[in-house]
Structure 1
Amino acid sequence: MKFESNRSKINSGELRVPATFYEYRPNEGTLPGEDVKHILFKCFVRVDEIYKSQLEQAKANNTLHDVTVTMRDPLDTYMPDEKHRFELDMRGYKGKHFDIKRVQPDSKNFGYLTLIASVQS
């Protein structure tokens, strides 16, 4: 008897959306806000579907967009954290910098990370 797993496997063909990760710094001088300090990492990600419950959660959190992305674990090259932001080169998301809210290993796919992020309103 052969054991077969029901796990969903991600293949590299699903990582189609270019993403750029940034580090920010406060604006110099008296102007409020932040500015891009430098680019930390570039890779391809998978943008997961947005469900109605996620839209309701975004409204409750006072955010414009909540998004869940999956990326290949870059190991020692780069580790995303809550201080970083990223931009997706995809229609509908271009020009929006997402604040990372949570980074966790993908429980279904070893070697991948799941990022939950939002754009504040």
Structure 2
Amino acid sequence: MQPYKYKPPRINAGELRTRVTFFEYGPNEGPFPGEKEIKILFETWAKIDEVWMKDIEIAKSNGTLSDLTITIRDPKGSFFPTNAHYIQIHTQEYEHLRYNVKHALPDIQNRDFIKVVSGVVS
């Protein structure tokens, strides 16, 4: 029998260093096409990861390989991202891009976090 050895969680709160904002968008008023920001739904700190090998199949099925995996702290029922939400990442590299939530699920290894797979909106 192997001895028990504590394994620390894969992510902790100290790794949440990037500010993200979840938005809801709606159609523009008037005859011109497009969308505009309706309201801010949730702001939090997150860990941003490029596509991992396990997320490549989800990215391929969505038709984009520019997906990001965003890990946020679970707000315990006050908010849960859906595919109708958009994300703004507040860093120089991603400030000009808007991301759409593709898939959100609770982190099975650590129930204190939610993983959000998002793709860039063209």
TM-score (norm: length of structure 1): 0.83
Gaps in structure 2 of 5+ consecutive residues: none
Instruction: After superposing the two structures, state which structure 1 stretch, 8-17 or 59-68, moved more.
Output: 59-68
CA 1:72–1:26 in structure 2 vs 1: closer, same or farther (change >3 Å)?
Answer: same
The answer to whether the Cα contact below 8 Å between 2:97 and 2:121 also exists between their aligned partners in 1 is no
CA 1:28–1:89 in structure 2 vs 1: closer, same or farther (change >3 Å)?
Answer: same
Percent of aligned positions that are identical: 36
Number of the residue aligned with 2:105: 104
In the aligned structure 2, how far is the partner of 1:22 from the partner of 1:57? 22
Alignment RMSD (CA, Å): 2.6
Gaps in structure 1 of 5+ consecutive residues: none
Is the aligned partner of 1:16 residue 2:17? yes
Per-residue Cα deviation, 1:14-59 (whole angstroms, up to 9, x for no partner): 0000000000110001110110001011000001244589789868
The answer to whether the Cα contact below 8 Å between 2:56 and 2:65 also exists between their aligned partners in 1 is no
User: Could you list the runs of 4 or more consecutive aligned residues of structure 1 that deviate by over 6 angstroms after TM superposition?
Assistant: 52-57
In the aligned structure 2, how far is the partner of 1:56 from the partner of 1:111? 25
Number of residue pairs matched by the alignment: 121
